[in-house]
């Protein structure tokens, strides 16, 4: 996780500050070929990705599948940051709901990705 966070910070460095529309992207909607990420200019958007230990414990994921899901999310975060999209990547022991409520209180309204 430490290497990922460093790589993400490097890609986000120098991005212009400003108002962005924040979009929550679930782990099964990781695409910029459809939906808001395909239609809007990258510098107007921010994406929120949530990695939840609680979610991983609620389903009988095979360890390799879980590793693939997390790797996909992290790779997608790095791709979006490279495009100029602001990225907020939250790793939590809690639920998605708790993470989303906390971030929404900070960033304002969130839109959910629906590709």
**Residue 17 pLDDT:** 64
- The confidence band for 79, taking pLDDT boundaries of 50, 70 and 90, is very high
CB atoms within 10 A of CB 68: 12
Residue 84 · residue 42 · CB < 8 Å: yes
Render pLDDT for 16-50 as a digit per residue (tens, 0 to 9).
767 899 999 999 999 999 989 999 999 999 999 99
C-alpha R_g of the chain: 14
Residue 63 has pLDDT above 70, yes or no: yes
107: alpha, beta or left? (left if phi > 0; alpha if psi -120 to 50): alpha
Gap between the Cα atoms of 104 and 33, Å rounded: 25
């Amino acid at each position: 996780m430490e290497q990922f966070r460093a790589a993400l910070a490097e890609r986000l460095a120098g991005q212009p500050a400003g108002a962005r529309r924040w979009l929550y992207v679930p782990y099964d909607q990781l695409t910029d070929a459809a939906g808001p990420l395909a239609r809007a200019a990258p510098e107007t958007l921010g994406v929120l990705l949530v990695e939840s230990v609680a979610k991983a414990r609620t389903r009988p994921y095979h360890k390799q599948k879980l590793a693939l899901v997390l790797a996909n999310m992290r790779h997608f975060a790095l791709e979006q940051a490279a495009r100029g999209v602001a990225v907020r990547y939250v790793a939590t022991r809690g639920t998605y709901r708790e993470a989303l409520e906390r971030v929404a209180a900070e960033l304002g309204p969130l839109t959910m990705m629906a590709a």
